Structure 1
Amino acid sequence: MAKHNPYSDLPEVEPFTVTSADIADGETLSANQASAFFQVPGGKDLSPQLAWSGAPEGTKSYCVTVLDPDAPTGSGFWHWAVANLPATVDELPEGAGGSADGMGPADSDASLPEGAFELKNDAGYAGFVGAAPPQGHGPHRYIVTVHAVDVERLDIGPDASPALLGFNLFFHTLGRAQLTGYFEIP
C-alpha cells in the first residue's frame, strides 16, 4: 500500500522543479542529512543544498519545509521550516540551516538571505535537524518542499510553529516543488 503524501490534501497548485546535490529523489539520505542531535552515527544535521526553477508567475517569496510524515507522533515531525525567502533567491547551499550541535551556523539564520528566518523544528530549536527515525521502525520519508508564495512576507514570526507556517501557506501558495529522501535505522 502506498504511503499517503500529506501535501496531497491541499489545493492543487502549479508544480515547479527542485533539485539537490545532496538528496536524490526516492533515494536514501546521506549521513550529512542524518541527525547528530539525536545521535545517529555519522549524522551531521546539515540542511541539504537545494535549487529550484520554473516557479509560477506572481511568485513574491518562497518557503522551504522538510517533513517526516512517518514519525510515530500522529502529526509527523518537522525537520526544517524556512519562511520569507525573497523571490530573487533560487538556491540554498548545504548547511544553510542552523543546527543545535554547532555543526551548522552558530546563528541559525546566518546563511539565509536578509529577511528570511527559520522556525523551531520539532526538536525544539530554530534550524535543521537531520533524519533520526526510531530504530527498527522502517524507512521514513523526508519530504522537502519549496513553496512559491504570492506575498513578499507571510505574517508570522520566528516563534511560529511549522504547522502555523503550513496553515498560512494554505492561503498563499501558488506552486510547490518536492523531492523525497528516505532514511531508516535497522
Structure 2
Amino acid sequence: MTFTLSSNDITDGGVLPDAQVQAKGNTSPHLKWSGAPKGTKSYAITCYDPDAPTGSGFWHWTVANIPADVTELAAGGPVPATAVEGRTDFGEPGYGGAAPPPGHGPHRYIFTVFAVDTDRLEVTPEDSGAKYGFNLHFHTLAKASITATYENRG
C-alpha cells in the first residue's frame, strides 16, 4: 500500500485558498491520510515554506503524537488531546497561515504527514520546527505531502 495524503481544502500544485492565509482566514486545512506502513504508532504533521527569505525557510505548523487510529483532521479542527503542536516561526504553537512578504513572489507551502515508529516524540509546544524535524528524521517510516503556493502581491 502507498502512503497518501489528501485534502478537501488544498490541492497539490494548486494555489492555497484564502482560508489558509494568515491575514484572511488563518485556518488549518482538512487533511486525510491512508496507507500507513506496518509499525506505524503515531503520526506527525508539518507545514513548511522553503521560500521564506530567512536562509532556513519558515515553519507554519508542527504537530506530533497524533494517535495511530486518527487518520484525518478537520479544517480548523482541534488536534487530538494527546497531540502536541509546536512553536511556529511566528513564535506560538498552532497553525500559522501563509504570510509571504509583499512582492516576494510565490511561496510553496508543503503540508506533510509522517508515519512515525513511536507513540511519542519528545517534543513540547515550545519546541521549534527544527527540533520537530530532527526527531522526525530518526522516527519516520513514511511520509506524504501536498504542496500549494501562495503569493502576496501587496
TM-score band, normalised by the shorter chain? over 0.9
Which residue is 2:53 aligned to? 72
The aligned amino acid for 2:81 is E
Residue 29 (structure 1) aligned to one of 16, 19, 44: 16
Distance 1:93 1:78 in 2: 20
Flag structure 2 segments of 5+ consecutive residues without an equivalent: none
Higher share in strand: 2
TM-score w.r.t. length of structure 2: 0.96
Distance 2:123 2:27 in 1: 25
Distance 1:146 1:70 in 2: 20
Identity among equivalent positions (%) equals 56
Contact residue 85 and residue 124 of structure 2 kept, 8 A: no
Residue 95 (structure 1) aligned to one of 72, 76, 79: 76
Flag structure 1 segments of 5+ consecutive residues without an equivalent: 1-13, 37-42, 97-110
Partner deviation per Cα, 1:68-87 (whole Å, 9 max, x = no partner)? 00000000000000110000
The aligned amino acid for 1:161 is S
Distance 1:141 1:113 in 2: 27
- Structure 1 runs of 4+ aligned residues shifted over 4 Å read none
Distance 2:123 2:10 in 1: 29
- How many residue pairs get aligned? The number is 153
Which residue is 1:133 aligned to? 100
Contact residue 15 and residue 176 of structure 1 kept, 8 A: no
Which residue is 2:63 aligned to? 82
Q: Do structure 1's residue 158 and structure 2's residue 145 form an aligned pair?
A: no
The aligned amino acid for 1:91 is E
Instruction: Using the TM superposition, give the Cα deviation of residue 16 of structure 1 relative to its aligned residue in structure 2, in angstroms.
Output: 1.2
